Structure 1
Amino acid sequence: MLLCFALSRCAVSPTGDKLYITNLYEDKLLTLARDGTLLATFKDPALDGPYGLYVTPAGQVLVCERLSFSKLQMDSEDRSKLATLATRERDGVRYPMSVCYSSTTTSIIVGQWVNDNILVFRVE
């Protein structure tokens, strides 16, 4: 059973048929159908404290974790982590709380909790 305080953020797929929800305390990303049916639960040992969440126009899911943020491929058939895009050690990411993608600048923008820095990563 999910406790409502454990659910952190939600985002809708570009087609509007899926809802993604982060579960901070159980380290999960849930995928629900429009009617609320649970389609998938993504849990990975590397998924640590998922919080911020964004779905790109291409349907890729960006997730902020405690000390990094990742790009996930989430659907009911293939639930897998594609890449860790940035980490604390490599990029200085510390407690990222929000993430979004700008198609205008082809950048991923990350807001952090512990300081006033906003990180911008160019992607191709």
Structure 2
Amino acid sequence: MLLCIAVWKCAVSPTGDKLYITNNSQHKLITLARNGSVLATFTDPALQGPRGVYVTPAGQVLVCGFLCDVILQVDSEGRRKLATLATKEDGVECPKSVCYDRHTASIIVGINNRILVFKVQ
């Protein structure tokens, strides 16, 4: 099966059965099965211009909205928002990448020429 999607970034689930893709121009997080079929398409007014996506070893999906200055957590199925982790009020401006460091329990956000680190409670 050939699926044509405008990909900005992608991440793989810990078990390798899902691929999460940010589609910046259509403001979507798309979840694909290993065979390429679409499992879910996540859209939310809080997620505009998604860029970076990261899956933690526990399967938590983190995605950053470049145009809306936000870091969201989405369920592992890629269907619904679980939490807003950081916003512009926290210093997030046009985030491009996100990841999680389990050793320090921190979310790391790449923003142009700087990096923000948020301790997870």
Output the TM-score relative to the length of structure 1.
0.88
- Unpaired stretches in structure 2, ≥5 consecutive residues: none
Q: Deviations over 1:69-108 (max 9, x none)?
A: 11111317xx2101111111x1111111111100100001
Q: Distance in 1 between matches of 2:58 and 2:29?
A: 18
Q: Distance in 1 between matches of 2:39 and 2:15?
A: 16
- Unpaired stretches in structure 1, ≥5 consecutive residues: none
- What is the correspondence of 1:35-46 to structure 2 with a 5 Å cutoff? 35-46=35-46
2:48 is aligned with 1:48: yes
Which residue is equivalent to 1:69? 71
Look up the equivalent residue of 2:37 and give its one-letter code: T
Q: When the two structures are aligned, how many residues end up with a matched partner?
A: 117
CA contact (8 A) 2:19 2:34 kept: yes
- What is the correspondence of 1:23-102 to structure 2 with a 5 Å cutoff? 23-66=23-66, 67-75=69-77, 79-88=79-88, 90-102=89-101
Look up the equivalent residue of 2:102 and give its one-letter code: S
Q: Distance in 2 between matches of 1:103 and 1:21?
A: 22
Q: Distance in 1 between matches of 2:118 and 2:46?
A: 21
Look up the equivalent residue of 1:65 and give its one-letter code: G
Q: Cα distance, 1:33 vs. partner? A: 0.5
Look up the equivalent residue of 1:107 and give its one-letter code: S
Cα RMSD (Å): 1.5
Q: Cα distance, 1:3 vs. partner? A: 6.0
Identity across aligned pairs (percent)? Answer: 62
2:7 is aligned with 1:10: no
Look up the equivalent residue of 1:117 and give its one-letter code: R
Higher mean C-alpha displacement, 66-75 vs 19-28: 66-75
CA contact (8 A) 2:60 2:76 kept: yes
The ranges of structure 1 where at least 4 consecutive aligned residues each deviate by more than 2 angstroms after the TM superposition are: none
